[in-house]
């Protein structure tokens, strides 16, 4: 059938046809068409989307990418044929019916996802089916390899290449800002790609953005890493494992994160940057993704197994996820805290200990330190100033201000100190509540917004002393956060009214 092109300014591939033409072609929403340029013979697939209102019969509305791919403009004529659905539809149906997907079937699904041969609806069906029916380790391995092969990859001449990842859920977890410079200062290569916060108050990418640009192509990541030994960039602009972004997008409304998909997501990104040794930080706690030590160990085994199948050496660190790491939550506050530790501060203890522990494992895995000597080496790279020097180098190579000092990074101008209503010991910090308040204060978008925990668990407070301070960049945001803080009591002092958890407890996202 010949149809007249009407270009529609919508990003992406595909388009819309009129109901009458759909009936003439014998197709329904979700069927496949092939759109062919009659002169060049170039063609593109299209998922049928039917309208009765915005087009007249005889016209096809085509979106930007399809128009560009085929070199079409308004008023051109195209040939439109029915096409068979991609076989990935059948493989998704197989997964719905509790089948096991072969490596080839998984590859077909992931390739069709990335090439926009599957609609978001169809990807949703795949993700939902995988979530409900689960994936075995063979499928997780296939998914990981498929994610890697459908995206860009980085190779390095210098070895070993190491990497770290935290599966997230703990507020204030700025350790990457310490681990990457420590590791790079030891002479190892660490091309760290990070994510922005989705439901958190600041992902590593949001933090690093305070100090330097973070949007780079895979090629630039490679070049900068070769120069400085390490980088901390946003993974979203690299086109590494792009299928993962699609999966996360359809998972997002339901706050699901299927175990197999999470493992594949993490491991694909490590494999694509050529990492040979990887430490996975698995925080355990009531608000993190993993709630018990037993679950953490089981997850760790799967990470190690998938790593081994891909030729990567993986170790997992199960960490304490009940309270924030350090005292600062929110981009500027966290960056200032991390910088101050690099500059020689001896607190906060939880941040320093977690950073040297994770760094130590990597140093031992890579043979830079003796067994049990990694943590000591990390500590000395930190106290000698070598890590700070390296961090300045990394900031410089990414285009930031390399002589930055922790005192330059200021929190928002609007602040409110929350006084303790009673005298007593701090008995709990509620991650979910702290993150909710920090987000209402404007984090992670407003870099100065966040929370500083003046007291942590075990601190003795007198009535009226500050438990924590909320920072914001506007009075409006501060007021909003304060209101929620009064409702949530994210920090509990012994003898206080019990903590109140909102009915719809939010879930926390991948931190890195």
- Which residues of the shown chain bind a second copy in the complex (CB under 8 A)? 8-11, 16, 23-24, 26, 28-31, 51-54, 64, 84-85, 89-90, 92-93, 96, 98, 119-122, 124-125, 128-129, 131-133, 198, 249-250, 252-256, 439, 444-445, 504
Q: How far is the CB of 287 from a second copy (least distance, A)?
A: 18
Please tell me the distance from the alpha carbon of residue 5 to that of residue 15, in angstroms, as a whole number: 10
| Other residues' Cβ atoms within 10 Å of the Cβ of residue 238 | 25
Contact between residue 141 and residue 306 where contact means Cβ atoms under 8 Å apart: yes
- Tokens, residue 167: 């599966």
Enumerate the β-bridge partners of residue 17.
50, 60
Contact between residue 398 and residue 194 where contact means Cβ atoms under 8 Å apart: no
| Other residues' Cβ atoms within 10 Å of the Cβ of residue 486 | 10
Please tell me the distance from the alpha carbon of residue 160 to that of residue 157, in angstroms, as a whole number: 9
Cβ closest to a second copy, residue 274 vs residue 444: 444
Q: How far is the CB of 10 from a second copy (least distance, A)?
A: 6
Q: How far is the CB of 123 from a second copy (least distance, A)?
A: 8
Please calculate the CA angle 197-202-203 and round it to the nearest 5 degrees: 55
CA dihedral (99, 104, 105, 109) positive or negative: positive
Q: How far is the CB of 270 from a second copy (least distance, A)?
A: 24
Q: How far is the CB of 222 from a second copy (least distance, A)?
A: 24
Cβ closest to a second copy, residue 388 vs residue 485: 485
Q: How far is the CB of 511 from a second copy (least distance, A)?
A: 16
Please tell me the distance from the alpha carbon of residue 226 to that of residue 54, in angstroms, as a whole number: 53
Which residues are part of a known binding site for AMP? 169, 195-200, 204, 265, 289
Residue 265 makes CB contacts below 8 A (sequence gap 6+) with 147, 241, 244, 247, 248, 510
Which residues are part of a known binding site? 169, 195-200, 204, 265, 289
Q: How far is the CB of 408 from a second copy (least distance, A)?
A: 23
Residue 207 makes CB contacts below 8 A (sequence gap 6+) with 174, 176, 177, 331, 334, 335, 338
Contact between residue 279 and residue 164 where contact means Cβ atoms under 8 Å apart: yes
**What is the residue-wise DSSP string for 58-87?**
TEEEEEHHHHHHHT--TT-EEEEEEEPPPH
Cβ closest to a second copy, residue 161 vs residue 449: 449
Q: Annotated catalytic, 257?
A: yes
Cβ closest to a second copy, residue 86 vs residue 321: 86
Contact between residue 118 and residue 112 where contact means Cβ atoms under 8 Å apart: yes
Ranges of H-type helices in 310-428: 331-342, 349-365, 374-383, 386-397
Cβ closest to a second copy, residue 11 vs residue 498: 11
- Residue indicated by tokens 């016209």: 59
The one catalytic residue in 21, 76, 257, 446 is 257
Contact between residue 303 and residue 141 where contact means Cβ atoms under 8 Å apart: no
Residue 124 makes CB contacts below 8 A (sequence gap 6+) with 250
Compute CA 159 distance to the chain's CA centroid, rounded to the nearest angstrom. Answer: 26
Contact between residue 17 and residue 50 where contact means Cβ atoms under 8 Å apart: yes
Cβ closest to a second copy, residue 88 vs residue 355: 88
Sheet containing strand 328-329, edge to edge, reads: 328-329, 450-453, 466-472, 414-419
Cβ closest to a second copy, residue 416 vs residue 506: 506
CA dihedral (103, 107, 113, 114) positive or negative: positive
Q: How far is the CB of 258 from a second copy (least distance, A)?
A: 10
Cβ closest to a second copy, residue 252 vs residue 495: 252
Active site residues: 257
């Amino acid at each position: 059938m010949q149809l007249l092109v009407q270009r529609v300014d919508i990003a992406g591939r595909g388009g819309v046809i009129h109901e009458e033409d759909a009936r003439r072609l014998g197709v329904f929403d979700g069927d496949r068409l092939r759109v062919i340029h009659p002169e060049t013979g170039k063609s593109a697939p299209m998922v049928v989307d039917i309208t009765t209102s915005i087009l007249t019969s005889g016209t096809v509305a085509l979106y930007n990418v399809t128009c560009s791919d085929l070199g079409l403009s308004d008023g051109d004529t195209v040939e439109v044929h029915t096409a068979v659905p991609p076989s990935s539809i059948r493989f998704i149906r197989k997964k719905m019916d509790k089948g096991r997907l072969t490596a080839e079937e998984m590859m077909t699904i992931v390739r069709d996802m990335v090439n926009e041969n599957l609609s978001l609806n169809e990807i949703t069906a795949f993700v939902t089916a995988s979530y409900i029916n689960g994936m075995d380790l063979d499928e997780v391995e296939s998914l990981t390899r498929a994610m890697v092969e459908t995206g860009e990859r980085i190779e390095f001449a210098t070895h070993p290449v190491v990497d770290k990842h935290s599966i997230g859920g703990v507020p204030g977890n700025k350790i990457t800002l310490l681990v990457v410079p420590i590791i790079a200062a030891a002479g190892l290569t660490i091309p760290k790609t990070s994510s922005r916060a989705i439901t958190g108050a600041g992902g590593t990418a949001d933090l690093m953005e305070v100090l330097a640009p973070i949007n780079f192509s895979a090629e630039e990541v490679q070049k900068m890493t070769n120069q400085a030994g390490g980088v901390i960039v946003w993974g979203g602009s690299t086109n590494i494992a792009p299928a993962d972004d699609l999966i996360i997008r359809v998972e997002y409304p339901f706050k699901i994160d299927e175990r197999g998909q999470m493992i594949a997501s993490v491991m694909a990104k490590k494999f694509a940057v050529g990492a040979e040794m990887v430490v996975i930080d698995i925080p355990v706690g009531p608000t993190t993704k993993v709630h018990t030590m037993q679950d953490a160990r089981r997850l760790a085994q799967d990470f190690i197994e998938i790593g081994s199948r891909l030729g990567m050496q993986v170790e997992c660190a199960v960490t304490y996820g009940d309270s924030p790491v350090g005292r600062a939550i929110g981009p500027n506050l966290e960056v200032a805290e991390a910088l101050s530790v690099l500059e020689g501060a001896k607190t906060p203890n939880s941040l320093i200990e977690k950073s040297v522990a994770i760094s130590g494992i990597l140093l031992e895995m890579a043979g830079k330190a003796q067994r049990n000597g990694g943590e000591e080496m990390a500590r000395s790279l930190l106290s000698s100033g070598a890590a700070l020097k390296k961090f300045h180098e990394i900031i410089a190579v990414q285009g930031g201000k390399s002589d930055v000092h922790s005192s330059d990074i200021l929190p928002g101008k609007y602040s409110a100190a929350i006084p303790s209503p009673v005298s007593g010991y701090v008995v709990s910090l509620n991650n979910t509540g702290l993150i909710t308040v920090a987000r209402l204060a404007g984090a992670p978008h407003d870099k100065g917004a966040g929370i500083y925990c003046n007291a942590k668990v075990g601190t003795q407070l007198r009535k009226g002393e500050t438990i924590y301070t909320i920072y914001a960049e506007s009075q409006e945001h501060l007021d909003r956060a304060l209101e929620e803080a009064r409702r949530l009591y994210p920090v509990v002092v012994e003898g206080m009214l019990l903590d109140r958890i909102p009915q719809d407890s939010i879930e926390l996202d991948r931190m890195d």
